[in-house]
Amino acid sequence: MMDSVAWFPSKLFDIHKFFLSDSQRCATVAPPSWMTEKQKTTYSMEQRAKLWAVGGGKGGVGKSFLTTNIGVLLAKEGKRVVLMDLDLGGANLHTCLGVTDLDRGVSDFLMRRYEELEEGLVPTQVPNLFLLSGAQDSLNIANPKYAQKIRLLRELKKIEADYILMDLGAGTSFNTLDFFITADTQLLVAIPEPTSIENAYRFIKSSFYRQIRLYSETPELRDLVEESMDRNNRHGIRTPRELLLHLKELGPEMSDFAEQQTQRYRPSLILNQVRSNNDVKVGHAMETACLKYFGLSVDFRGYVTNNDLVRRSVLQRKPLMMQSPDSEIGQDLQRLLGNILQRQKVPPS
Ligand SMILES: Nc1ncnc2c1ncn2[C@@H]1O[C@H](COP(=O)(O)OP(=O)(O)OP(=O)(O)O)[C@@H](O)[C@H]1O
Ligand SMILES: [Mg+2]
């Protein structure tokens, strides 16, 4: 983890200004300094889509399946929805959606083959649902550079949509964590298996450290956060909770900062491929463990059962919510989306 931030250009610490939570969106926020005067004037008037990120440390847990089908559900509700494939090294949202006519995508935007993201939107089989594909010919775009990421985030604001859902790749690379952190709604997908649970905890730790690092305003604080990421640090800080306690001991200002960062970090946990009631309990157990050991609230928002219909929908390249909306798993997805929208947790069984 120590390799994580040393190279970081200081400008990236403005990244959080690109996106605001629902409550913050109403507040007046100073426009980023890089904007022209004209852009600054319109900045606070701009309405933008709600930005959701779907991440999770492990590959193959169902991030793309969930992004696709949550997107279909929102579009069926009459919302204008854009699915954005940010798994640039292993994009497959286009396959989940059965979109074959891909003449441009995110990578073309990053390579400046077109200027406005809106131009990259591809219609899907579902009315109101559009794709910004991650499929690519150029292999060197899998890890966008800092300036490319900033341009992408800046242009995202201009897309005319109600929701933009970002499908993230597996792992805890900086780009993945940054897209996750900048989202208004952060969906963390895990399956009830030890390897996935382990990776989800790692993703939670990494994204929280990354968030707190991005919001740190003094070099001393940034150094402390960086140091804490190394398990053998001299302060003996091993977890986000211990880092937060350490900050609180540094005085009222740091104590307020720690409190703000804890409040800001609210990912929603989704369990996929659930097979039993005991599997569902894993979600509640993870919620409890995050609070106890990390000092962080991770809300268990819902689960989706394991079902062969998913494989069939992938083989047929047609989203499950189009093929079998009334199936048991279709109902799971509807319940899950309801919980996300109403910010409800799964009641204990
Ligand atoms: N609820 C489910 N029931 C049965 N199979 C499922 C379920 N969810 C996902 N799968 C299967 O798991 C496979 C992986 O899903 P998906 O591609 O969405 O994962 P991912 O997290 O996006 O993976 P990656 O990180 O590699 O992009 C799919 O091919 C699908 O068949
Ligand atoms: Mg995927």
Cα distances (Å, whole numbers) of residue 22 to 9, 64, 75: 28, 25, 20
Q: Whose CA is nearest to atom 9 of ligand 1?
A: 62
Nearest ligand 1 atom to alpha carbon 305? 1
Is the shortest distance between the CB of 87 and ligand 1 below 6 Å? Answer: yes
pLDDT score at 154: 87
By C-alpha distance, which of 325, 213, 203 is closest to 270? 203
Residue 134: CA atoms inside 13 Å, Cβ hemisphere, count? 26
Sign for the CA dihedral angle at 81, 272, 347, 52 comes to negative
Q: What is the average pLDDT score of the chain?
A: 87
Candidate of 97, 193, 310, 336 to mutate for ligand 1, largest count of ligand atoms within 8 Å of Cβ: 310
Is the shortest distance between the CB of 90 and ligand 1 below 6 Å? Answer: yes
Is the shortest distance between the CB of 275 and ligand 1 below 6 Å? Answer: no
pLDDT score at 302: 97
Residue 336 has pLDDT above 70, yes or no: yes
Q: pLDDT tens digits, residue range 69-104? A: 999 999 999 999 999 999 988 899 999 999 998 888
pLDDT score at 142: 78
Q: pLDDT tens digits, residue range 112-134? A: 999 999 999 999 999 999 999 99
299 CA distance to ligand 1 middle (Å): 22
Cα distances (Å, whole numbers) of residue 112 to 22, 109, 168: 31, 5, 21
pLDDT category, 41, cuts 50, 70, 90? low
Nearest ligand 1 atom to alpha carbon 274? 1
53 CA distance to ligand 2 middle (Å): 12
Average pLDDT for residues 229-255, to the nearest whole number? 94
Q: Is 38 helix (H, G, I), strand (E, B) or coil?
A: helix
Is the shortest distance between the CB of 62 and ligand 1 below 6 Å? Answer: yes
194 CA distance to ligand 2 middle (Å): 20
DSSP percent split of the chain into helix, strand, coil, nearest 5: 50, 10, 40
Is the shortest distance between the CB of 273 and ligand 1 below 6 Å? Answer: yes
Q: Whose CA is nearest to atom 16 of ligand 1?
A: 62
Is the shortest distance between the CB of 11 and ligand 1 below 6 Å? Answer: no
Percent of the chain residues past pLDDT 70, beyond the cut: 85
Is the shortest distance between the CB of 316 and ligand 1 below 6 Å? Answer: no
Sign for the CA dihedral angle at 316, 322, 325, 331 comes to positive
Residue 214 has pLDDT above 70, yes or no: yes
249 CA distance to ligand 2 middle (Å): 41
Nearest ligand 1 atom to alpha carbon 90? 27
Q: Is 166 helix (H, G, I), strand (E, B) or coil?
A: strand
106-120, 127-141, 271-285: the lowest-pLDDT one: 127-141
Q: Which domains does the chain have, with CATH numbers?
A: 44-345 (3.40.50.300)
Is the shortest distance between the CB of 65 and ligand 1 below 6 Å? Answer: yes
Ion ligand 2 neighbours, Cβ < 5 Å = 63-64
Average pLDDT for residues 257-266, to the nearest whole number? 95
Cα distances (Å, whole numbers) of residue 37 to 27, 30, 41, 239: 20, 12, 6, 43
